[in-house]
């Protein structure tokens, strides 16, 4: 499936439906390139900037690191639509195709993990060598008759009410549990500022997409080696509901559990996560 995505200007790729997606492409300058590329898919509500504390040290170790802003996030267009997993996976595929990337380690965090899986099942693994799922929303969050251990719809309704009435206060109340006790207040403020710049329409639509996601069958079709990373103190995506189940469904998957780590593992355990990414991408 060719998507006709093209580079429209430095740092931006245009999709077939007229959306401009901002991307960053960092390459080693003061280190010997190792020929390996890690492509980072961001979290719900955050742009690609969230990966700075992984990308910078990895570039210094010789990796090429690519990240982007999902539509409605960061510097990408706010098109008012296209927040279903198929379209988001097509956006991801468009960037990979436009930059002609191959042999990738594809790393997705939270909602980004689901987008990465949908990319693989929709577009194939010809360009992807490895997959990393970090604190992902997989395989299914919502409570249903055949998923009785899921999260009750009332929690999503409460968040959506806060989003439409006082999202800044919701962020203030939830930032510390997200980032964990070791994160500085300045780091938390940085994350909150990025989240506040995200389109409210995108936030609401993506929340519905996450709530409706069911990848239980799809995960069995993932055909690349997979590393799954999550903290056991994640209050957003409980470990037993998400990564433990995901690891059982994906063939050739390995689960790493960080003791005491919250959902925001890319902040709380930045150095450890970076080291695990480097080791897995180099394997």
- pLDDT tens digits along 194-244: 999 999 999 999 999 999 999 999 999 999 999 999 999 999 999 999 999
pLDDT score recorded for residue 115: 98
Mean pLDDT of the chain: 95
Selecting among 69, 90, 91, 234, the annotated active-site residue is 234
Q: State the pLDDT confidence band at 32, using cuts at 50, 70 and 90.
A: confident
pLDDT score recorded for residue 163: 94
User: What are the phi and psi torsion angles at 223 (to 5°)?
Assistant: -120, 25
pLDDT score recorded for residue 259: 97
The domain limits of the chain are 6-282
pLDDT score recorded for residue 1: 53
pLDDT digit string, tens, across residues 260-281 = 999 999 999 999 999 999 999 9
**Domain spanning 6-282, CATH architecture:** 3-Layer(aba) Sandwich (3.40)
17 is a catalytic site residue: no
Apex 124 CA angle, 119 and 125, nearest 5: 95
Token pair, residue 92, equals 């991801």
**88 close to 202: Cβ distance less than 8 angstroms:** no
pLDDT of 106 > 60? The answer is yes
pLDDT of 2 > 70? The answer is no
pLDDT of 54 > 90? The answer is yes
Cα separations (Å) of 181 from 45, 188, 239, 262, 268?
A: 21, 11, 19, 9, 8
pLDDT score recorded for residue 25: 97
Share of the chain above pLDDT 90, in %: 93
263 is a catalytic site residue: yes
Under DSSP, the state recorded for 103 is S
pLDDT digit string, tens, across residues 60-99 = 999 999 999 999 999 999 999 999 999 999 999 999 999 9
Selecting among 110, 136, 199, 236, the annotated active-site residue is 110
123 is a catalytic site residue: no
Q: State the pLDDT confidence band at 3, using cuts at 50, 70 and 90.
A: low
254 backbone φψ class: left, alpha, beta (φ>0; ψ -120 to 50): beta
């Amino acid at each position: 499936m060719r998507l006709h995505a093209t580079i429209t200007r430095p740092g931006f790729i245009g999709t077939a439906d007229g959306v401009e997606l901002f991307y960053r492409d960092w390459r080693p300058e003061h280190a010997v390139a190792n020929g390996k590329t890690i492509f980072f898919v961001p979290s719900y509500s955050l742009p690609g900037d969230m990966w700075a504390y992984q990308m910078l040290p990895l570039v210094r170790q010789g990796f090429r690191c690519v990240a982007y802003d999902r539509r409605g996030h960061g510097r990408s267009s706010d098109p008012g639509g296209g927040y279903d997993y198929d379209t988001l996976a097509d956006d991801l595929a468009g960037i990979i195709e436009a930059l002609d990337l191959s042999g990738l380690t594809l790393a997705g965090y939270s909602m980004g993990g689901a987008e990465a899986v949908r990319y693989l099942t929709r577009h194939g693994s010809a360009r992807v060598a490895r997959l990393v799922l970090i604190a992902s929303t997989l395989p299914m969050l919502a409570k249903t008759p055949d998923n009785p251990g899921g999260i009750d719809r009332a929690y999503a309704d409460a968040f959506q009410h806060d989003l439409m009435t006082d999202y800044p206060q919701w962020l203030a109340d939830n930032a510390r549990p997200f980032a964990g006790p070791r994160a500085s207040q300045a780091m938390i403020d940085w994350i909150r500022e990025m989240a506040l710049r995200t389109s409210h329409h995108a936030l609401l639509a993506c929340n519905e997409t996450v709530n409706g996601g069911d990848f239980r069958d799809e995960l069995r079709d993932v055909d690349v080696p997979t590393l799954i990373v999550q903290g056991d103190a994640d209050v957003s995506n409980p470990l037993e509901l998400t990564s433990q189940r995901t690891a059982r469904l994906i063939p050739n998957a390995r689960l790493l559990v960080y003791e005491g780590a919250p959902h925001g593992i890319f902040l709380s355990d930045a150095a450890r996560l970076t080291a695990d990414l480097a080791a897995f991408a180099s394997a």
